[in-house]
Amino acid sequence: MSHRIAWRLLACLALVSVWAGVSRAEGLVREIKGGILAHDVTSMWSGFRTENDAVAVNIEALLSPSLRILGGTIRPAIGASIATEGGTSNAYLDARWEFETPTGIFFSLGLGGTVHNGETKLRTFDQTDKALGSRLLFHIPLEIGYRFDRHSSLSVYFEHMSNAGTRDQNEGLDRLGVRYGYRF
């Protein structure tokens, strides 16, 4: 990872930490999550050409406002996945439904929107190009994990982003990795 990317990641994490500290006093942020994701994983939902072998750092805040439905809770989530080595990065806002068992196992599914800095049209036939079709895409996250205590959790996280066929070019992008969560 280059020094420039490392400094960007540290700056993003610092901003989220400051924001969470300020928001914590007001009760806005319920949980902060962060982790490392394999970038543009093959053989998943987006089975087209792969962008590169980058990794992405994911940071997210689950907000406190909530609605109980279907045995779980829906709440807003805001976050970003920052890719290394020239990969596509994105920022997202989702509605996230989470179901947590008494044993600590939890499952969540979301739907929202994301903006990204990747290519929208296929410019060359290079395998590293990926045509996402538009700047604004759908964001679909899926997570399963275990809550160790009232504060800490560890999970496997998957995120998909694409334009859902609303444009001619719709290669989509998938990430898969591990995240740590801290609930206030």
* Domain count along the chain: 1
Question: What's the pLDDT score for residue 102?
Answer: 96
Note down the domain range covering 38: 3-183
Instruction: Read off the CATH number of the domain in which 13 is found.
Output: 2.40.160.20
Question: What's the pLDDT score for residue 124?
Answer: 61
Question: What's the pLDDT score for residue 3?
Answer: 47
Average pLDDT over residues 2-27: 53
CB 31 within 8 A of CB 66: no
Residue predicted with more confidence, 170 or 51:
170
